[in-house]
Amino acid sequence: MENNYMLSVKNLKKYFNTPTGVLHAVDDVSFDIPEGTTLGVVGESGCGKSTLGRTVLHLHKKTSGQIFFNGKDISEINKHEFHELRKEMQIIFQDPFSSIDPRMSVRQLIAEPLKIFKLCKSKEEIEKKVKETMDTVGLASRLADSYAHELDGGRRQRIGIGRAIILDPKFIVCDEPVSALDVSIQAQILNLMQDLQAERNLTYIFITHNLSVVKHISNDIMVMYLGCAVEKASSTELFKHQYHPYTKALISAIPRVNLDDKSVRIPIKGELVSPIDPKDQCRFAPRCEYACDKCFASAPTLEEVEPGHFVACHRVRELNNL
Partner 1 sequence: MDENTLLKIDNLVVKYFLRKSTVEAVNGVSFEIKKGERVGLVGETGAGKTTTALSILDLVSNPPGRIVSGDIYLNGENLRQKSEKEMRKIRGNDIAMIFQDPMTSLNPVLTVGDQIMEVVRLHNDMTKFEAMDKAKEMLELVGIPGERYLEYPHQFSGGMKQRVVIAIALACNPKLLIADEPTSALDVTIQAQVLDLINELRNRLGMSLLLITHDLGVVAETCDKVMIMYAGHIVESGTVDKVYRNIMHPYTSGLFNAIPKLDEDTDRLQPIKGMMPDPSNLPEGCAFCDRCPNAVEACKTRKPELVQVEEDHMVACFNPIKKEA
Partner 2 sequence: MAKNDAYKKKEGGNSQFKMVWIKLRENKFAMASLFILIAVCLVALFAPLIAPYDYTKQNYEEILMFPCLKHPFGTDQFGRDIMSRIIWGSRYTIVIGVLTMVVSGVIGTVLGILAAYYPKLDNPIMRFLDIFSSIPDMALLMCLVIILGTSMRNMIIALGLYYIPGYARLARSKVLTLRNEEYVEASIALGASDGRILMSHILPNSLAPIIVRFTMSTGGCILEAASLSYIGLGIQPPEPEWGLMISQGKGFLSTNWYYSIIPGLCIVLVSYCLNYLGDGLRDALDPRLNY
Residue ranges that bind partner 2, judged by CB under 8 A:
57, 59, 83, 86-87, 90-91, 93, 95, 98-105, 112-113, 116-117, 142-147, 149-150, 160, 163
**Distance of alpha carbon 21 from alpha carbon 204, whole angstroms:** 33
Shorter beta-carbon distance to partner 1: residue 100 or 217:
217
**Near partner 1 in 111-170, by CB under 8 A:** 152-154
The interface partner of residue 52, options being partner 2, partner 1, none and the CB cut-off 5 to 8 Å by kind, is none
Q: How far is the CB of 7 from partner 1 (least distance, A)?
A: 24
Residue 264 contact, options partner 2, partner 1, none, Cβ 5-8 Å cut-off depending on partner type: none
Choice between 100 and 214, CB closer to partner 2: 100
Identify the helix (H) or strand (E) that includes residue 203.
Answer: strand 203-208
How many helices, marked H, and strands, marked E, lie in the chain?
11, 12
**Smallest distance, partner 1 to C-beta of residue 233, A:** 16
Residue 101, contacted partner among partner 1, partner 2, none, CB below 5-8 A by kind: partner 2
Query: What dihedral angle (degrees, nearest 10) is formed by the CA atoms of 41, 46, 52, 54?
Result: 120
Residue window 79-108: x/- pattern of binding to partner 1, with contact defined by CB under 8 A:
------------------------------
**CA dist., res. 267 & res. 192, Å (int):** 36
Residue 267 binding result from partner 1, partner 2, none, given CB thresholds of 5 to 8 Å by partner type: partner 1
Looking at the DSSP bridge assignments, the partners of residue 306 are 309
3-state helix, strand, coil in the chain (%, to 5): 35, 25, 40
DSSP 8-class letter at 165:
H
Which of 194/320 has CB closer to partner 1? 194
Q: Residue 245: name its binding partner from partner 1, partner 2, none (Cβ under 5 to 8 Å by kind).
A: none
The burial of 221, by beta-carbon neighbours within 10 Å (0-12 exposed, 13-18 middle, 19 or more buried), is given as buried
By the 10 Å C-beta count (0-12 exposed, 13-18 middle, 19+ buried), 260 is classed as exposed
272 with 263: CB under 8 angstroms?
A: no
Residues that bind partner 1 (CB under 8 A): 44-45, 152-154, 182-188, 190-191, 194, 209-213, 215-217, 236, 239, 249-251, 253-259, 261, 265, 267-268, 271-272
